[in-house]
Amino acid sequence: MLTVFAALSQLKREQLKQRQREGIEIAKAQGKYTGRKPIPTDWTRFGQLYGELKSKNISGRDFMRRMDMSANTFYRRVREYEIRHGIIEQTSA
């Protein structure tokens, strides 16, 4: 009896996800669904702090606190900054 309820619950969940996926596709086609807005970044201040970070005057945590960003955003922005400015670090592998 319990397996029947579990199967019905799973079927309902799959139908819900399918309807949601279809709704998002329709909204995208109409230009209404654009996703999450990007977090704004002050690139001037970022560049100054990046210099301090690379000269080991501040830690990554201090950098994140001063820029008020999460760790994931920090690492993503560092990667973007390095690509923009052609900074490629040597990897020892």
d(C-alpha 19, C-alpha 25), whole Å: 10
Please tell me the predicted confidence (pLDDT) of residue 5: 87
Question: What does pTM read for this prediction?
Answer: 0.60
Please tell me the predicted confidence (pLDDT) of residue 4: 86
Please tell me the predicted confidence (pLDDT) of residue 92: 55
State phi, psi for 76 to the nearest 5 degrees: -65, -45
pLDDT tens, position by position, for the chain (93 residues)?
778 889 999 999 999 999 999 999 999 999 888 888 888 999 999 999 999 999 999 999 999 999 999 999 999 999 999 999 988 765 555
